[in-house]
Each structure stands twice: as C-alpha cells, then as structure tokens.
C-alpha cells in the first residue's frame, strides 16, 4: 500500500491503519505473559525500509519498559511496553525476538 506524502503527516494514522493486526498480536503476546502489562502504541513516522522488521530494546532509564520499532515498507511505528517486573520484561523480549 503506497501512502501519499500529503496523507502521511507525523503522528497521524495513515489511511487503512488503525489498530493493526500486528499490534493486536503483540498485545495478546504481552498479556499472555504479564497480564498487568501495558502496551502503548506511539506515533507513525514515514520511513523507507526494504522489509518488515521488529526491533526490541530496553529503556535505558527503566529496565521494566521495552521499546519496539515496528518498521513496515513505508511507515514506522514506535510501541512502548510497560511491564510489572524485570523478569517478565526479559521473557517478553525473548518471545518477541523469537517470533
């Protein structure tokens, strides 16, 4: 799906992208491990990437928070996950890297 530049303003949902199935899948995976965790999808940003990727990293200030970068072909979305404990955050990080 090619998105016109006029439609793709920083922070807005592009046409056809609301709560994407990928975000719902991430939410279900996180809730199955830590039922009190929060998944906070962030803004959309325009980007060019040859393939779809998912990058996982810890927040340097708070180890119980994970940052995800979901890169699609023409857009990127940052997602923040707040976990209850460090151990559960590590489990979620491993599961996301494996899938």
* Residue 25 DSSP class: H
At residue 39's C-alpha, the angle toward residues 38 and 41, to 5°, is: 145
Check pLDDT > 80 for residue 7: no
Q: What is the pTM of this model?
A: 0.74
- 74 to each of 5, 10, 45, 46, 53, how far by Cα in Å? 10, 13, 9, 6, 12
Q: Are 56 and 91 in contact (CB under 8 A)?
A: no
Check pLDDT > 90 for residue 75: no
Domain positions in the chain are 21-98
Neighbouring-strand partners of residue 23: none
Q: pLDDT, tens digit, for every residue of 9-61?
A: 555 555 445 556 788 888 999 999 999 999 998 888 888 888 888 899 998 99
């Amino acid at each position: 799906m090619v998105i016109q530049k006029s439609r793709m303003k920083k922070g807005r949902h592009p046409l056809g992208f609301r709560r994407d199935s990928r975000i719902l899948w991430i939410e279900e995976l996180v809730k199955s491990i830590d039922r009190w965790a929060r998944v906070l999808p962030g803004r959309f940003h325009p980007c060019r990437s040859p393939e779809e990727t998912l990058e996982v990293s810890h927040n340097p200030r708070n180890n119980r928070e994970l940052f995800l970068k979901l890169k699609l072909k023409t857009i990127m979305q940052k997602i923040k996950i707040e976990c209850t404990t460090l151990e559960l955050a590590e489990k979620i990080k491993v599961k996301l890297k494996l899938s």
